[in-house]
Amino acid sequence: MEERLNYFKTDDYSRFKFFKFNRTAGSNTSIGRSIDMVDMTECCPIIVTPDYYIIDGQNRFVECKKKGKPIYYVVYKGDAEAAMIALNTATRVWRQEEWLHYYVAKAAPNYVAMKMLMDKHNVAISNAILLFSRHGTNATDFKKGKLRDDSRLFEVVVEFIKKVIVPKDVRWQRPFVSAVMDFIYEHEDEPKKIKRLEKRITSVVKYARVEDYRNAFENLTR
């Protein structure tokens, strides 16, 4: 026996809301083109909570609103946050930036602190995680909200990297950043040695491994 499921249609865009911790919605040209070619939105309703927060289908909503098309939707009464994460990560794996946005919106202290340092110093997220946790957070832990805070010398390392004269393709290369961080933490009580590296680091060539940079730094500062 067939079962009829309830779904709805409206032209009232104002009733719909976005979760602040969901990834940012915006104009999506590929979705917009597909709607222009074959409008299947009636067959693919967006999913909302009883109070109209969009769980799934933000970009479809944005494109339909932009084109003046009706919104087809179904209401989900379960755990909206868990459903949102499950649906979004099933269709496309969340990037680190999206997990950061999620945890910052949830006011997770370590994520908020790292985001502030990232923005202040214009550091890419992969290096920011490295510097903030000092090797202490892998990709899985970052997604699980387990960002470790070992950021005592974050700004010292960043300022050192910004100051020294090195090739453009070396400055923010992850092995180089990692080696500089390790060197500064290991020798933070030897400011003369750090100063010596700052002056002599121009002779360092590009390496692929952290260990090669570390050996080069030690040789330069003997």
How far is residue 119's CA from residue 213's CA, in Å, rounded to a whole number?
Answer: 27
171-186 average pLDDT score: 97
Question: Is position 3 within any domain?
Answer: no
* Number of domains the chain contains: 3
Question: Closest by alpha carbon to 69, among 7, 13, 14?
Answer: 13
Question: Over the stretch 74-124, which tens digit does the pLDDT of each residue have?
Answer: 999 999 888 888 877 766 678 899 899 999 989 999 999 999 999 999 999
The pTM of this model reads 0.70
| Assigned token pair, 145 | 């909200």
How far is residue 85's CA from residue 33's CA, in Å, rounded to a whole number?
Answer: 26
Question: Over the stretch 27-55, which tens digit does the pLDDT of each residue have?
Answer: 567 788 888 888 888 888 999 999 999 99
Question: Is position 133 within any domain?
Answer: yes
Question: Is position 2 within any domain?
Answer: no
62 and 12 in one domain? yes
Question: Is position 189 within any domain?
Answer: yes
53 and 33 in one domain? yes
Q: How confident is the model at residue 6 (pLDDT cuts 50, 70, 90)?
A: confident
133 and 179 in one domain? no
71 and 33 in one domain? yes
* Residue at a domain's end among 48, 73, 91: 91
Q: What is the span of the domain harbouring residue 158?
A: 154-220
pLDDT at residue 25 in the model: 66
| Assigned token pair, 212 | 């090669």
Question: Is position 166 within any domain?
Answer: yes
How far is residue 3's CA from residue 130's CA, in Å, rounded to a whole number?
Answer: 52
